[in-house]
Amino acid sequence: MVFSSISFLYFFLPAVLGAYDLLPGRYRNGLLLTASLFFYFWGEQGTVLVLVAMALAGYGAGRLLGRLAQAEGEDGTDGCRREGTEGSGLRRRVCIAAAAANVAVLAAFKYGLGGLALPAGISFFTFQILSYVVDVYRGDVKVQKSAADFLMYVSAFPQLIAGPIVRYKEIEGQIGDRLVGLGKTARGIRIFLVGLAKKVLLANELAVLAQKAGAAAEAGTLGGPQATVLGTWLAAAAFFFQIYYDFSGYSDMAVGLGHMLGFDFPENFDYPYTSASVTEFWRRWHKTLGGWFRDYVYIPLGGNRVPRWKWVRNVLAVWALTGIWHGAEWNFLVWGLYFGCLLILEKLVLNRWLSRLPRPLRHVYTLAVVFAGMVIFRGGTPGEVWEQLGRLVGFHTQAFGDSYSWYYLRSYARLLLAAAVGATPLPRRLWNWLAARCKGEEDADSGDSLGRRTAAVLWGLAQAAAAAWVLLWCTACLVGGSFNPFLYFRF
């Protein structure tokens, strides 16, 4: 089941949220666990057992680490070690064994060992379990004593399929005690609707353009689309925005749903296409994955407090892993290493040059290299990717454009413009400005005036109307069975 589907929006979600609000707090974890397992079973059926088994194994590893810590006397109460000490060799071995087992299961499914089907979201929930085990070992979190609560954390449907990667320590306190109020629910609804609009109204339409503009007719077609410079640019640009809106839209929906259920999930994207360097881009793109690799791979390898060659090795190792985390295909590895090399280059050489450039030029540089990176990410055979990259600058084609590519440009210009503007903070600033104006700085001085009250009411109505419009418009797109792929489901 995907969030952007009729079955989720009109059956699963209202049923779950309705029951969730009606039930006393102590039953909510149980309801969320049941709903989440059903949600996963809906799409994955038997592989729900993989999820449950991995979660229980992670839970067991945590309990074991806790008991060992208690036995070692490092912590007499809750199995949590004091920060900064990493404990005995036995606990270290348990932690490594648990981590290795998780990675092995992930690799077995992800890289097709034994022809196993890939369970949706396995890359995400494996990393959540891994971070929990390592954090217990490090003493950063308390051991979760309830298997059901731990299973609920791993399987919580908002973040189960495509992240964000919610670390246990980020919501540890909320598992047992969380508040669901009107303000938080409304905030969650707003974020969810923004994500839904990103996904259905932008990403799905962009996916159509990426597919159409990238399709060249086979030889021998009488008047079909040709491989042109313009068509290649359109397809690449459409994918460039599609992947952002697809993934960030899904993340927004997850965060919004989290709020509706009382959780505070970390945000995953922060206008990455406005970055002025690749380093900044990766602080803004898929933040939870970048943070995970930083804290669980890069820093343990020594980070940058090592000789330069080791630092280069560390960076390349992290980015090779980031690449293959996405899949076994060659392009993901190349994509990861491409960004690894760019980060090294920036650190060693480019930052000095970039800092002297006007900011717009730094944006152009960042957009250009990220754009090329997304062409690699999109994939195909090495020859096809090379050809596409070449065609962007006029190689491998006879024509700049044909009737098809010009048509697509005219037809999708407004969509591309909306996608470009939406990838900047401008819409959010406009929204905040309007909100501030309508709120009327009410607490600033003499209290409510009639004008301010009217403005506030109008703003409330505008928000409600916008919410209705997004929901109904997305419904209109979904009932027609529009093209509705989720790029990050395969990761």
Q: Residue 480 region, left (φ>0) first, then alpha (ψ -120 to 50), else beta?
A: alpha
19, two tokens: 């029951």
- Tokens (6 digits) for 167: 């670390």
Least distance to another protein from the beta carbon of 108, Å? 21
Q: Two tokens at 106?
A: 């992930």
Rounded to whole angstroms, how far apart are CA atoms 420 and 237?
Answer: 10
Between 330 and 459, CB nearer to another protein: 459
The verdict on whether 363 is a catalytic residue reads no
The full DSSP string for 81-94 is PPTT----HHHHHH
Distance CA 34, CA 40 (A): 10
- Least distance from another protein to the Cβ atom of residue 388, Å: 21
**Rounded distance, CA 80 to CA 76, Å?**
8
> Nearer Cβ to another protein, position 102 or 314?
314
Give least dist CB 471 to another protein, A: 5
CB nearer to another protein: pick between 330 and 407:
407
Identify the helix (H) or strand (E) that includes residue 406: helix 403-422
286, 326, 363, 396: which is the annotated catalytic residue?
326
Q: Which is nearer to another protein, 376 or 419 (CB)?
A: 419
Q: Which is nearer to another protein, 59 or 412 (CB)?
A: 412
SS3 234: helix
CB closer to another protein, 26 vs 359: 359
**Of 65 and 213, which CB lies nearer to another protein in the complex structure?**
213
Least distance in angstroms from the C-beta of 270 to another protein: 7
Alpha-carbon span 377 to 385, nearest angstrom = 9
Cβ proximity to another protein: between 328 and 436 the closer is: 436
| Number of neighbours of residue 368 by Cβ within 10 angstroms | 10
Q: Which residues contact 171 (CB under 8 A, 6 or more apart)?
A: 153, 263, 264, 265
Q: Prior bond to 427 cis, omega within 30? A: no
| Long-range contacts of 218-226, Cβ-Cβ distance < 8 Å, separation of 24 or more | 224/404, 225/402, 225/404, 225/405, 226/397, 226/398, 226/399, 226/402, 226/404
Comparison of 11 and 27: residue with beta carbon closer to another protein: 11
CB 404 within 8 A of CB 226: yes
CA atoms of 275 and 421, how far apart (whole Å): 14
Nearest distance from C-beta of residue 66 to another protein, angstroms: 26
Least CB distance to another protein at residue 465 (A): 8
CB atoms within 10 A of CB 281: 22
> CA quadruple 419, 420, 423, 428: dihedral positive or negative?
negative
C-alpha 275/C-alpha 346 separation (Å) is: 14
Minimum distance from residue 416 beta carbon to another protein (Å)? 11
- Tell me how far apart the alpha carbons of residues 353 and 358 are, in angstroms, rounded to a whole number: 11
User: Residue 478 Cβ, how far from another protein at the closest point, in Å?
Assistant: 6
Query: Rounded to whole angstroms, how far apart are CA atoms 241 and 487?
Result: 12
Smallest distance, another protein to C-beta of residue 122, A? 17
Cα 487 from Cα 277, distance rounded (Å):
25
Which residue carries 């979190």 as its tokens?
A: 141
Euclidean distance between CA atoms 385 and 435, whole angstroms: 45
Catalytic residue numbers, as ranges:
326
